[in-house]
Structure formats: structure tokens, C-alpha cells
Amino acid sequence: MGIMYFVRHGQTVWNVENKICGATDSPLTEQGHMQAKRTGEIINDAISAGRMHIDMILTSPLSRARDTAEEISSQTGIPVHTEVSLTEQNFGRWEGTPRNGGDFAAAKQNFCDSFSGGESMLRCAQRVYNLIDEITAIPEKTFLLVAHNGIARIVESYFRDMTNAEFAAFGIKNAQIREYRF
């Protein structure tokens, strides 16, 4: 049996401003940096106690995830590799608009829509699923993926059947750790 971990990046400027980040590179806030550091400490404590083992951190290239991954690495010594497959979905015309907008919520129900220049949910899921297929093919290695809430939703759907409503409602907190067994 293999294990994979997932961490969402720390708080960003646009998280605070309630804007859709997507592929736009919104930096971590001071609180986001502290969340990343605390997550690194939690992981390091678990590793030291023998409750966790991680061979490599794979991170989205966007600075909010990369900075979170680098902070975890500085706490644990685990090497970091940038993985473009973990880049957040590009929400096209919706990036920078309010997260809780009703029109955006309705648009996300159309999994084949690329949002006028963005990326469809299906194409995003394809690249993330392909990466997870590669990871699960080598269960003797344990990876920590550091990415985004939209990617967390897709990772969750890889390991658990979900209705469209469950998929749309799923999310994790900034710097939260999730474990997946396969």
C-alpha cells in the first residue's frame, strides 16, 4: 500500500480579498508564510516521531505553492521538485473576480468550459490524474503534493467518488495536510 500527502498553499493576498486566483500568481501574506512554517513543523514532528515519511515534495510552480513547499522543505530537509501538472486551473475571465459570485459558481458546473481563454475542468483533471497515476505506480515512494484548492478538489475526486455538488463544495483550508492511501 502506498501513501501520498497533499497540502494547500498558505493564505494569499487574493484569498484575503476574496478573489479567484486560479493561474494568477497571488503571493502569500505574512500569515500565509507563518501557516507554511507551522505546517513544516507539524510534518517534521511527525517524521521525527516515525508517524510519517516523505521522499519528495512536488509543488505547483505558482509562487504561493512554491513558497509553501520551500518552507516545508526548510523545516524537514525534504527535496522539492516543481511539477507543472499541479498548477492551479486557469479560470480565464473569472480570475480576479469575487470567489462567491453566483455566475462563477454556475460556470464551474460546465466541466468542458474553458472560461474564455482559461482551462476546462476536464483538461485540468486529466493532467492531475495523469500525475497521480504516475505516483500510484510507485507505491514504495511517498510524495507530498503542494498545490491549490482546485487541485485538492481533483485529487480528492481521484480517490473518492463524488457527486457534482460534492465536488463543487469540496475544499481544504490554507496549509492543511491531507493523506491518501492507495
Active site residues: 9, 88
Q: Do 15 and 21 form a contact (C-beta atoms < 8 A)?
A: yes
Residue showing cell 510524495: 143
Query: For the sheet containing 80-82, what is the strand order?
Result: 80-82, 56-59, 143-147, 3-8, 177-181
Which phi and psi angles does 103 have, rounded to 5°? -65, -40
Q: Do 146 and 175 form a contact (C-beta atoms < 8 A)?
A: no
